A and B are shown apart, each in its own frame.
Chain A
Amino acid sequence: DAGVTQSPTHLIKTRGQQVTLRCSPKSGHDTVSWYQQALGQGPQFIFQYYEEEERQRGNFPDRFSGHQFPNYSSELNVNALLLGDSALYLCASSLAAQNTEAFFGQGTRLTVV
């Protein structure tokens, strides 16, 4: 079992550009959540996808959008990048049933210059 895999591992973008990050959930999992972790801080919830729809959303602007595919993999898109978007982006997968553990990928380090 490969666990949760994210790509790419590192990325450098210029202000104003757009970026797409990808996540493949752990085998058998149907729910994908995205988190932003700024340097020296705890992760903050961006949004969660289940059955190809955004189920919950944290306090992030509309520049952050996502998608979930029929195979449960997910993408995070960020438009009009700002310097403040530089962070580690973590993907976590879980089962929609309650009381289950969320498994994390190793993240994508995004640097906006």
Chain B
Amino acid sequence: AQTVTQSQPEMSVQEAETVTLSCTYDTSESDYYLFWYKQPPSRQMILVIRQEAYKQQNATENRFSVNFQKAAKSFSLKISDSQLGDAAMYFCAYTFNNAGNMLTFGGGTRLMVKP
């Protein structure tokens, strides 16, 4: 079975600084996708960034980038120039090809941004 682990229940960052959230996963599949979702107090899950396992290049979306280490099964999220609006729960998630977007989530990391 696939598992996703987020070892940091809470993280804190000063506004305008950089923070990295960690995620590890376990799978026997070779073709899969990894995601970071943001869940603000409004509760709606918002996709931050996605990574296809077959792509060696790390995904980037504006201030958000990932460090994808396939051999180590590690998928960390780096947030640069942190903003107050980045404060939320962040969930790492996994799905494999032919899974029809059935997602396995980690336990989440609460990110606090200090002004």
Contacts and interface: CB of A to CB of B under 8 A. Distances in A.
Q: Bound pair: A and B?
A: yes
Interface of A: 31, 33, 35, 40-45, 48, 50, 55-56, 58, 88, 90, 92, 94, 96, 98-107, 109
Contacts of A94: 100-101
Given A41-B108, A90-B45, A92-B45, A102 B97 contact: no
Contacts, number: 68
Interface of B: 4, 6, 33, 37, 42-47, 50, 52, 91, 97-108
B71 to A, nearest CB: 23
B101 A107 contact: no
Which interface residue of A40, A88, A96 has the most chain B CB atoms within 10 A?
A40
A105 B44 contact: yes
Nearest to B99: A56
Given A41-B108, A43-B103, A101 B45 contact: no
Nearest to B1: A59
